[in-house]
Amino acid sequence: MNHLSGLDATFLHMESPETPMHIGGLSILELPPEYEGDFMADVRNHILNRMHLAPIFQRKLVHMPFDLANPIWVMDEDLDIDYHIRHVIVPPPATRATVDKLVARLHSSLLDRSRPLWEMYVLDGLPVPKDLPEGTRYVGLYSKMHHAALDGMGGQVLMEAVMDVSAKPRKVKKPLRRRAGEHSDNYGIAELTASGVLHNLGQTIKLARNLPTLTRKATEILRPTKAPQDTSKEKMHWFAPKTPLNVTITNQRSFARFSIPLQESKEIAKLNGVSLNDVAMAISAEGINRYLDDEGFHAEEPLLAAIPVSLRPEGNTELSNQVSMARMNLATTIKDPLERLHAINDSARHVKHLMSDMQAVLPTDFPSLGAPWFMSGLASVMTRARIYNAMPPFANVLISNVPGPNITLYFAGAKQVSTYPVSIPYHGMGLNITLQSYDGWLDFGLIACQKLMPDIHELARHMEEAHRDLLQLSQERYNKA
So where are the chain's domains? Answer: 2-170+188-192, 230-402+420-480
Q: Percent of the chain scored above 70 by pLDDT?
A: 78
What is the share, in percent, of the chain residues with pLDDT greater than 90? 58
- Do the domains 230-402+420-480 and 2-170+188-192 match in fold? yes
pLDDT in the model for residue 183: 53
Question: Is the model's pLDDT at 423 over the cut of 50?
Answer: yes
Q: What is the mean pLDDT of the chain?
A: 85
User: pLDDT tens digit string along 350-407?
Assistant: 888 777 655 555 555 555 556 665 677 777 888 887 888 988 999 999 999 988 899 9
Higher pLDDT, 417 or 65: 417
Residue 71: its pLDDT value, please? Answer: 84
**Residue 297 φ/ψ, nearest 5 degrees:** -120, 135
Q: Is 412 left (phi over 0), alpha (psi -120 to 50) or beta?
A: left
DSSP state of 227: P
Confidence of residue 138 (pLDDT cuts 50, 70, 90): very high
CA distances from 8 to 77, 147, 202, 209, 281 (A): 23, 7, 17, 21, 27
Q: What would the pLDDT profile of 360-370 be if each residue is shown by its tens digit?
A: 555 555 555 56
Instruction: Report whether the peptide linkage leading into residue 20 is cis, meaning its omega lies within 30 degrees of zero.
Output: no
Per residue in 444-480, pLDDT (tens digit) is: 999 999 999 999 999 999 999 999 999 999 999 887 6
CB–CB of 115/80 below 8 Å?
A: yes
Burial of 45 (0-12, 13-18, 19+ CB in 10 A): middle
Q: What pLDDT, in 10s, does the model give residues 253-268?
A: 999 999 999 999 999 9
**Arithmetic mean of pLDDT, 57-85:** 86
Classify domain 2-170+188-192 at the CATH superfamily level.
Answer: Chloramphenicol acetyltransferase-like domain (3.30.559.10)
Whole-structure pTM value = 0.87
pLDDT digits (tens, 9 = 90+) for 162-208: 999 999 999 888 877 765 555 556 676 766 666 655 655 655 555 55
One-letter amino acid of 355: M
**Interatomic CA distance for residues 445 and 423, integer angstroms:** 8
- The CATH fold assigned to 230-402+420-480 is Chloramphenicol Acetyltransferase (3.30.559)
Rounded-to-integer distance, Cα 75 and Cα 58, Å: 6
Neighbours of 443 (CB within 10 A): 26
Q: For residues 121 and 230, which has the higher predicted lDDT (pLDDT)?
A: 121
